[in-house]
Amino acid sequence: MAEPSTERPEGGAPPGRLVAFLRAHFGGLPHVYWVVWSGILVSRAGTMVVPFLTLYLTDQRGMSVGWAGSVVTMLGLGSTCSQLVGGFLSDLWGRRATFATGPVAAGAALLALGYVRGLPATLAAAFVAGLCLQLYQPASGAIVADTVPKEHRARAYGLLYWAVNVGFSIASVLGGVLAQRGFLWLFWIDAVTCVVFGLLIWWRLPPDDVDGAKGDARPAGGYREVLRDRVMVSYVVLLLLHASVQFQVGSTLPLAMVDSGLTPADYGLAVAVNGILVVVVQPLVVRRLSEQDRSNVIACGVLLMGTGFGLGAFMSSLPGYAFTVVIWTAGEITIAAVVQTVVADLAPEHLRGRYNGLFGAAYALAAVVAPAGGTQLYAHAGPTALWATCFGLCSLVAAGQWALGRAVRARGTTQQLAETAKE
């Protein structure tokens, strides 16, 4: 009998290797998850207003930089409230209804922001737009916990973060091109994609599977119960601190690079390294990282982030700053692989929306307070003190994450046993 041939087909790659790779990194996730993933990608790809809002207000509306900053701050405050409201509604009203309604309302609010005149009306429209834009995020986090098996959740959350970054990269490029044809194009495209996002979710998500409604048997609970969870509150405080360091990218990092004799274009090139690495590297490493202990992964990622920002004290050239971007981006990718999975490990089923709302509010609040705090420290103490503070905060957060590790693991085991008992 002739022995079977062991020769590889032309091209050198064993048959099925690509399929095996895709299955390992993207397989095993339910259809509902991919509906959520696709909707978020479409929404983020159309989110063109936020990156260019300050430029629109100062260039097209004639606002001062100070008042434009106030409008952006109101947008951020609305986003912070949005996370908490979205968490409340997704537990009380249902995941699907909250997920679908938020983007549709955001589309209307964005059009209002583009057309209203007068400072009070613009500030109010910015707050409402922020309130609606992020309303869906706690629901999306709860849906992943509801529908994705525990062993795949970290990978699922990591791929959601990847979709956000891919969409943001598309929006930044297209937004810059469309802004040259007229800023109102950005508001209309953003509004249309928001509505498409909401309709897609309403049409494709099965309400019985994701609304989480248990009728009268659903346990009662609210944010007061969440705030009594010391592990969750400690975790959120640590997230707020490390996110405050991460958001220095858009506030003090460009100031430091310009003061080093570099140009805004150099800043754009350095930060582009972050986007490229996240888009290319994250889907390749998220599976491996998701198999490790959550708290250890986050602690290592935060230390990498702190090291990257801390090294900024010694840099003055474009290659030097680009190197720091590589370091802190590695930390960002590491953290993102598991950070939201911990929330799913800690949250009881009937409070998953609120737990994800508190989680999202920490990041949204950091986006508001970090630029103000960082720029004040930079102005009064200088860049070296700022970057040293960033490293110190990240070291503190890493120690806190390691200290929380035992409690997080214990709660994760408890939640897994509870889920197994219900199956």
pLDDT greater than 80 at residue 26? no
Residue of 143, 139, 131 lying closest to 31 (CA atoms):
143
So what's the pLDDT on residue 211? 40
pTM for the predicted model, two decimal places: 0.85
The predicted pLDDT at position 4 comes to 47
Say how far residue 288 (Cα) sits from the centre of its chain.
20
If we measure between CA atoms, which residue out of 341, 345, 335, 343 comes closest to residue 410?
A: 345
Rg of the chain over CA atoms, in angstroms? 22
Residues 6+ apart with CB under 8 A from 14: 8
- Tell me 27's DSSP state: -
Q: Using an 8 Å Cβ cutoff, are 340 and 421 in contact?
A: no
Cβ atoms < 10 Å from Cβ of 264: 10
Under DSSP, the state recorded for 211 is S
Alpha helices by DSSP H, 249-382 = 252-259, 264-290, 294-310, 318-336, 339-346, 352-381
Tokens of 227: 């705030």
- How much is the pLDDT for 307? 97
Q: Domains of the chain (ranges plus CATH)?
A: 29-207 (1.20.1250.20), 225-422 (1.20.1250.20)
Q: Identify the H or E element spanning 233.
A: helix 230-246
Minimum mean pLDDT among 48-52, 107-111, 251-255: which range? 48-52
| Most confident by average pLDDT, 48-62, 99-113, 216-230 | 99-113
Please count the CA atoms within 13 angstroms of the CA of 9 that sit on its side-chain side. Answer: 5
Residues 2, 207: Cα–Cα separation, whole Å = 57
Q: How far apart are CA 294 and CA 406, in angstroms?
A: 10
User: What is the helix (H) or strand (E) element at residue 244, kind and residue range?
Assistant: helix 230-246
Q: Which residues contact 214 (CB under 8 A, 6 or more apart)?
A: 350
Summarised one tens digit per residue, pLDDT across range 276-315 is 899 899 888 988 898 899 999 999 999 999 999 999 999 9
Q: Could you report the per-residue pLDDT of 125-160, keeping only the tens digit for each? A: 999 999 998 898 999 999 999 989 888 888 899 889
